[in-house]
């Protein structure tokens, strides 16, 4: 099984960007980012079980178990400068992977977290995974994104909702373990109309790093990074390639 997908290898790349998807997302969420990155950067996106070509595989048991296996998958690719980017659930996952990498002596250039409250902030953690299909689809529609369009079709709900619920259960069961702040700088990105996290709430991520911190707000909702992908990739590139 392959946990990380690379659209195209770039042997001359001096840096790598690892992207972690939102609940219900797949590696295709970042398929258009490859062309926006400079030729000196290579993109690897997570492909979690239960979806796309891994549809028949069981979902991970916990966020910790998922972070453990993704950390192992990344190790052979850490021979050059690298950064992590995670959106929504992917932000929490990228944070936990960064903790593990630091514990092994690796030093990411930066952790980018998008559309997510800080891992120690448990406000508004509703048990969406327990909602019935109609209620869950209604909640997902409020966030926007391509999943909302897909779930408008009854046949697609039967395929997509099981792994969306599985991802939501991972996030809902997650509990932040106390520990020292990251040595890795953290950049927070979000949309100004995101119903999941406000700019004020996003500032809580600063407590999770002892290094540099920045907060960038873009026009848009929870999935602001789809129409604003060029600006988001440009922001990442400035830190990845210095």
For the segment 79-131, what is each residue's pLDDT rounded down to a tens digit?
Answer: 999 999 999 999 999 999 999 999 999 999 999 999 999 999 876 667 899 99
Average pLDDT over residues 143-171: 83
Domain of residue 53, residue span: 4-123+180-240
**Separation in Å, CA 70 to CA 35, 44, 66, 94, 165:** 24, 12, 6, 9, 20
Catalytic residue among 59, 88, 114, 129: 88
Domain membership of residue 110 (yes or no) is yes
Q: How many CB atoms are closer than 10 A to CB 192?
A: 12
Nearest CA among 49, 53, 40, 225 for reference residue 145: 225
Domain membership of residue 138 (yes or no) is no
Domain membership of residue 162 (yes or no) is no
Give the whole-angstrom CA distance, residue 106 versus residue 158.
Answer: 41
239 catalytically annotated: no
Q: What is the pLDDT of residues 9-57, one digit of tens each?
A: 999 999 999 999 999 999 999 999 999 999 999 999 999 999 889 999 9
Domain membership of residue 93 (yes or no) is yes
Domain membership of residue 142 (yes or no) is no
Side-chain half-sphere CA neighbours of 6 within 13 A: 14
Mean pLDDT for the chain? 93
Entry pTM = 0.95
The burial class, CB within 10 Å (0-12 / 13-18 / 19+), for 193 is: middle
Domain membership of residue 146 (yes or no) is no
Count how many domains the chain has: 1
CATH code, domain with 110? 3.40.50.1820
Domain membership of residue 59 (yes or no) is yes
Q: What is the pLDDT of residue 146?
A: 60
Domain membership of residue 147 (yes or no) is no
């Amino acid at each position: 099984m392959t946990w990380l997908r690379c659209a195209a290898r770039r042997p001359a790349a001096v840096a790598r960007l690892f992207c972690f998807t939102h609940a219900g997302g797949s590696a295709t969420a970042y398929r258009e980012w490859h062309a926006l990155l400079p030729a000196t950067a290579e993109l690897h996106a997570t492909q979690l079980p239960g979806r796309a070509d891994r549809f028949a595989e069981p979902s991970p048991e916990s966020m910790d178990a998922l972070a453990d296996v993704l950390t192992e998958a990344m190790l052979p690719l850490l021979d050059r400068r690298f950064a992590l980017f995670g959106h929504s659930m992917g932000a929490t996952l990228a944070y936990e992977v960064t903790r593990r990498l630091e514990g092994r002596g690796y030093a990411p250039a930066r952790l980018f977290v998008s559309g997510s409250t800080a891992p120690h902030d448990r406000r508004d953690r509703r048990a969406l995974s327990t909602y019935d299909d109609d209620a869950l689809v209604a909640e997902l529609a409020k966030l926007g994104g391509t999943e909302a369009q897909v779930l408008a079709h009854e046949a697609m709900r039967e395929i997509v909702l099981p792994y969306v619920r599985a991802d939501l259960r991972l996030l809902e069961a997650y509990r932040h373990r106390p520990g020292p702040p990251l040595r890795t700088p953290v950049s927070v990105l979000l949309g100004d109309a995101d119903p999941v996290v406000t700019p004020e709430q996003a500032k809580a991520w600063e407590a999770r790093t002892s290094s540099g911190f920045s907060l960038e707000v873009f026009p848009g909702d929870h999935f602001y990074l789809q129409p604003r992908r060029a600006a988001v990739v440009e922001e990442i590139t400035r830190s990845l390639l210095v």
